[in-house]
Chain A
Amino acid sequence: MEIIDILLAASFWEAAIRIATPLIFGVLGALVCERAGVLNLGIEGIFTAGAMAGWMAVWLGAGLWAGVLVAALAGAFFGLIHAILTVPLGLSQHVSGIGVTLLATSLSYFTYRTALPDVSSPPRIEPFRPLDIPFLSDLPFIGQALFSQTAMTMLALVLVFVTGWVLYRTPLGLAIRAVGDNPSSVEAQGLSVYGLRIGAVVVGSSLMALGGAFLTMSAFDAFFFGMINGRGWVCIALTVFASWRPGKALIGALLFGAFDAFQVRLQTEVGAFLPSQVFLMMPYILSIIALIVVARKADYPKALLVPWFKGQR
């Protein structure tokens, strides 16, 4: 069977993990924000900002890792705007998030156009190269599928573990989980609700920006208009699908990546019969289906979307 052949190929899983990488960053970022009680619809714009800022830094001569840092800072900046509007000011998280997406996207585009007014084809940088780890990269199958990814993919996988550890094994994570469930429980114990929430949104937004940076610095080597193409929104759906858990977020992103890689291969097999757009729609449709599947039992953080003001009980 051809399908079995596709699924058993190391190159298929290599592609799946590559496609999943920006989503892993994005879902982890969304999850950290939402665990603290703040929906961050700025994600799509923050992806764009991360992609542009990281790429631009490298293009201007910075090292790759310095570019990653610049992307994270760009994400933190826009996260801070969203955090200030939604946490101490308690404004609508929906509208503020959309506003941040519009701002981050237009600012990225404006900056890119201003820096490069006349180019017809986007300039390229030297992106992250696939790792060549002695022994590990030579393993059959898994060597190609996992250990020949770029360093940013490895970073994403490490961050899954780190996020999980912080959330479930440290006092900080305990406080973040509490503030997303009942902010008063945190205030009553002398911790700062605003501090925790703002911190979570800023850190979560940095993670989102890394997802964007992966696209321009690892998956591709240039910045294009419209390149995020809804990946941020997909992450918001996957966060619900993952029940706000880092481990499940990894599984969700990988399933999604596998499906996407699969449809691309299927397209080459049966593309003659169906318009290409049908395949391109699949990721979005899949996200909606994922939402429907979990909607009934989705256990939203209880304080999500609910503004909290000092001294309130």
Chain B
Amino acid sequence: MIRFEPRANPGPVLTYGVPVIAAAIAILLAAIPLALADAPIIRAYGLMISGAFGSVFSISEMLTRATPLILTGLAAAIAFRAKLWNIGAEGQLYMGAMAAVAIGSGVIDGPSWIMIPVVMIAGAIAGALMLIGPTLMKTRLGVDEVVTTLLLNFIVLLFVQMMLEGALKDPMSMGWPQSEPIIDSAVFPPLIERMRVHFGLIIALVSAIALAVFVKRTVWGFEIRAVGENAAAAKFAGISVTKTMILVAALSGGLAGLAGVAEVAGTRGYLATDLSPGYGYAGIVVAMLARLSPVGVIASALFVASVFVGADSMSRAIGVSSYLADLIVAMALLCVLIGGFLTRFTVHFDRKTAG
């Protein structure tokens, strides 16, 4: 008989080691689908590594991918900390991107130091509102936020499509449903000449550190931790669960909205319905791999981004489907879940003594 006993206090080796091991196992497991696809396994791994780290260009591509993933990862991490199950980062990202485009494509103009903060704020507010709605429905009406945020992803995408065929349509796009481009003064400047990695990365890194400080050291962070770990006790102690949840929703939705801003203002330059290849959902994996630690999100976003960029590059070279990347990421999530279990419990095998 197998028995689980809680561990009193997992050490730092377990706490930080488990996500690394989980990620490594997920990478190794990828050998199975690679073998089934008749691919040269060793070469495929080599191609993935060089695709993500092999040159300044590939590192720049990887960091470009990591930028929205850090932000959606933070969005999931802060929400899950408060047990607000925000699965709607994808929709919040699109709303943020749309707000950035609506304001940043020529309606107003000004110098960069005004325009960049303006599109960021607009995007963050749009994303925040997208989550505050479901959060209010949860706290006021008792509607499960998992389903509402999930369904809102589909609604938002259709809404974006509608706007791109209507009010936000670029007349110069020759019929493609895409928005007018972001004006130059609102574009995030690149960090390296002629490379795609952009100012959004700085925003993402600063956000991660600021969020870490916020959660650990401020009164509001204290209240978020209390509500997330035991809402009943927090409520009894006089902490307003509703207000805390709305604060979390604003932060989480705002961060996801910022990811959308970074994508249109930093990477793409305009809005289209294929802006995000599932950054919102991948953010959940990023957050879980980071064990909901804001600083950890940086590391896990870099991992997920290198899997995506590496697999893309490998796919182009030897024709293995790039869905392999999604597969690795999904397996990493399940592995880190199991790993998390092993840090909280020890496993014992009992011998049965009688028959």
Contact = CB atoms under 8 A, between A and B. Distances in A.
| Whether chain A touches chain B in the assembled complex (some CB pair under 8 Å) | yes
A200 to B, nearest CB: 20
B327 A107 contact: yes
A230 interface: yes
A41 B150 CA distance: 10
A96 B331 contact: no
Contact of A281 (B143, B155, B284): B155
Interface in A224-250: 229-230, 233-234, 236-237, 240
Nearest to A86: B337
B319 A117 contact: yes
A94 B165 CA distance: 35
Contact of B151 (A100, A234, A310): A234
A contact patch SS: helix
Nearest to B133: A288
Contact of B321 (A98, A100, A113, A234): A113
B321 A237 contact: no
Interface stretch (A174-182, A263-271, A291-299): A291-299
Main secondary structure of the interface of B (DSSP, over half): helix
A79 to B, nearest CB: 14
A96 B334 CA distance: 7
B288 interface: yes
B85 A94 contact: yes
B184 interface: no
Contacts of B288: 95
Contact of A291 (B144, B154, B337): B144
A165 interface: no
A287 interface: yes
A183 to B, nearest CB: 16
B158 interface: yes
A236 B326 CA distance: 24
Nearest to B321: A113
A310 B150 CA distance: 33
Interface residues of B, number: 48
Contacts of A291: 143-144, 147-148
A96 B337 contact: yes
B322 to A, nearest CB: 8
A230 B334 contact: no
Contact of A280 (B37, B144, B158): B158
B33 A110 contact: yes
B212 to A, nearest CB: 21
Nearest to A110: B323
A277 B334 contact: no
A277 B152 CA distance: 14
Interface string B117-153: 0000000000000000000010001111011101111
A109 B321 CA distance: 9
Given A89-B341, A284-B151, A275 B327 contact: no
A236 B285 contact: no
B54 interface: no
A91 B340 contact: yes
B326 A106 contact: yes
Contacts of A81: 334
A106 B155 contact: no
A30 to B, nearest CB: 11
Nearest to B142: A295
Interface in B322-340: 323-324, 326-327, 329-331, 333-334, 337-338, 340
A230 B151 contact: yes
A188 interface: no
B327 A240 contact: no
B143 to A, nearest CB: 4
Interface string B144-184: 10111011111100110110011000000000000000000
A85 B333 CA distance: 12
Contacts of B161: 277
A94 B146 contact: yes
B87 interface: yes
Contact of B154 (A98, A100, A229, A298): A229
Kindly list the 10 A-B residue pairs having the minimum CB-CB distance in the complex, ordered from nearest.
A106-B326, A113-B321, A102-B330, A277-B162, A103-B330, A110-B323, A106-B327, A277-B158, A99-B333, A109-B323
Given A98-B87, A237-B151, 16 more contacts: A85-B337, A99-B337, A102-B326, A102-B330, A102-B333, A106-B326, A107-B327, A109-B326, A110-B327, A114-B320, A233-B154, A236-B146, A236-B150, A284-B152, A288-B143, A292-B137
6 contacts: A117-B319, A230-B153, A233-B150, A275-B166, A284-B152, A292-B137
